[in-house]
Structure 1
Amino acid sequence: MTDIASDAPLSKARNSPLGSILKRHWAVAFAFIYLAILALWVAFPARFASFDPLAVSVASKLKPPSVEHLFGTDHLGRDLLARVIYGTQNSLMSTLIAVIIGLVIGSTVGLVSGFSPTRIDAAIMRVVDILLAIPNLLLSLAIVTALGFGLVPVAIAVGLGSVGSFARIMRSEVIRVKELPFVESAHLLGASPVSVAIRHVLPHSWGPVVALSAIEFGAAVLSVSALSFLGFGAPPPEIEWGLLVSEGRRFISASWWLIAFPSLFIVLTVIAANSLGRFLENKFGASH
């Protein structure tokens, strides 16, 4: 009896939903763990960095990866690991702002379009089609050129570039949900369109939008880093992953680590966000 009782918690842990997900979806487990580490870097960079990311040491310049400097040092002797850790904050905060902008504006446009008469819906969707026809990075580049340089303009530009994707997915969900029996019943009971949208349609439309948000987060990381690489982000001494790659390209022939490590984190973040987004997409798609 004692053995059976002691084995019960272990059996429950093995059969728990989270344990089952992590066992069957190792990519999702990696994504959660990796993104959690990045979140800690954003919140507490000083606890993970052994060096000041701005401290110059001429005697230590361009040192390869070693026990003392795990990612090596740059042309001014600054520890690259510390700079990657501190750069996480600017890179991911810009990305998060961009996703929120795209989510809020795009979802609002999609919601309005889904509830509008046919002609208005068609007109809105033509504008959305035009936005989707333009490559996201090219559209972001045009917007940031008009807004100016810096972290916030880059975030706004990337966010506006993703409005079309959010608008289309939200519209399709609104059209699907508003045809369901309980929504039609709410209309018959005299509920206003605004009340129906907020109380009945939105709560049942958010799943695919959340999945798209995770996927767009990965795309936004790439766009923010690309714009920073091109010089549209915050100027030094601010630190961003794209800026680190841009600074390191001058020394790529002799100091490969200056580009390799910042680029690695950009790629891993995109992969993690996409893995999480695809998992959520499959989960919510299966529930419909």
Structure 2
Amino acid sequence: MNKAELFKELLENRNAALGMVLILLICLVAVFGPWLAPASPIAVAPLDRLQGPSMAHLFGTDSLGRDILSRVIYGARISIMIGVISVAISLVPGTLLGLVAGYFGGKADGVIMRLMDVLLAFPAILLAIFITAILGPSLINTMIAVGIVYIPHYARIVRSSVLSLKEQLYVQAIGHLGGSHTRILLGHLLPNSFPPIIVYATLGMGTAVLQAAALGFLGLGAQPPQPEWGAMLSEGRKFIQLAPHVAAFPGAAILILVLGFNLFGDGLRDVLDPSLRSQ
């Protein structure tokens, strides 16, 4: 399937199309944030604190009088960055470990997969909290923690694909003809493992945004005055009865972005999986 056919099938898939629209919407907001935001996201106005939505402040203001719409817009940049970087931190080492474990097997497979099993034994959010607590609360450390937590997932997916692919006749023929391990791994096994990796990476971006928001909610993520959606939710819960809009709008932003990634990932899986596509 070439790129044109893939894009056409994605547009015809309702989940993928809706997911692309939601992701594109958030990305456009992130890119054009400085021009869309009506005010500075960190400008404090104590006299305007906890105002409800109005023409002056479409999303209202928070406890320090900051414009919530501006903070949500600038927070889109942080959330997109978290999703991309966290997935990259997971994907690269996880893919390499899965390739080595699946192809060479034996002791290498045993050591790598037992290490992955140890990481998988911990609940994801607890492991992320533990890593962030060691490294210190910050946006960068949050991305590192979320990335490390999901390395085993990519390793297991790639290993599973490689175990199946390396039994194919063409792979064995390349080995018998003198093909190097590097050529087989990077030239044949890795490219043919891309479909499940791409699907999981797309879904993983939504998970990474949620995990980072949870850490931000606990005060371990982006630090004030950075406009991060999870931290905004944490602040908003203090005023949930007095000013529910403070938590509602960043919560809605998280919902839209995560829903977009999940829908697009589901649609991408339907398109790339031959069995589902035939159905």
Q: TM-score, normalised by structure 2?
A: 0.91
| Corresponding residue for residue 6 of structure 1 | none
- Which of 151, 156, 172 pairs up with 1:168? 156
CA deviation map 1:227-264 (0-9, x unaligned): 11111122211110011111111111110011111111
Counterpart of 2:147, as a letter, is G
Query: Residues of 2 paired with 1:205 and 1:109: CA distance?
Result: 13
Question: What is the SS of the residue equivalent to 1:95?
Answer: helix
Query: Residues of 2 paired with 1:84 and 1:210: CA distance?
Result: 28
Q: Cα RMSD between the aligned structures?
A: 1.8
Counterpart of 2:225, as a letter, is P
Unpaired runs of at least 5, structure 2: none
Shift of 1:139: 0.9
| Corresponding residue for residue 248 of structure 1 | 236
Shift of 1:89: 1.4
CA deviation map 1:70-112 (0-9, x unaligned): 2111122211111001111122212221110000011111011
Question: What is the SS of the residue equivalent to 2:148?
Answer: helix
Query: Residues of 1 paired with 2:67 and 2:48: CA distance?
Result: 9
CA contact (8 A) 1:231 1:243 kept: yes
Question: Would you say 1:268 and 2:256 are equivalent positions?
Answer: yes
CA deviation map 1:186-216 (0-9, x unaligned): 1121001111111111111111001000111
Counterpart of 1:159, as a letter, is G
Aligned residues: 272
| Corresponding residue for residue 13 of structure 1 | none
Q: TM-score, normalised by structure 1?
A: 0.89
Query: Residues of 2 paired with 1:268 and 1:99: CA distance?
Result: 19
Task: Please list every run of at least 4 consecutive aligned residues from structure 1 whose deviation after the TM superposition is greater than 6 angstroms.
Answer: none
Deviates more, 1:217-226 or 1:31-40: 31-40
Question: What is the SS of the residue equivalent to 1:51?
Answer: coil
| Corresponding residue for residue 209 of structure 1 | 197
Question: Would you say 1:68 and 2:53 are equivalent positions?
Answer: no
- Which of 2, 11, 21 pairs up with 1:22? 11
| Corresponding residue for residue 179 of structure 2 | 191
CA deviation map 1:39-66 (0-9, x unaligned): 2222221121112212222332211112
Query: Residues of 2 paired with 1:129 and 1:157: CA distance?
Result: 17
Higher RCO by CA contacts (8 Å cutoff, separation 6 or greater): 2
Query: Residues of 2 paired with 1:19 and 1:234: CA distance?
Result: 38
Query: Residues of 2 paired with 1:43 and 1:287: CA distance?
Result: 37
Flag the 1:53–1:233 CA change in 2: closer, same or farther, 3 A.
Answer: same
Unpaired runs of at least 5, structure 1: 1-15
| Corresponding residue for residue 145 of structure 1 | 133
| Corresponding residue for residue 57 of structure 1 | 45
Query: Residues of 2 paired with 1:143 and 1:240: CA distance?
Result: 20
Question: Would you say 1:112 and 2:91 are equivalent positions?
Answer: no
Question: What is the SS of the residue equivalent to 1:209?
Answer: helix
Counterpart of 1:271, as a letter, is L
Flag the 1:20–1:171 CA change in 2: closer, same or farther, 3 A.
Answer: closer
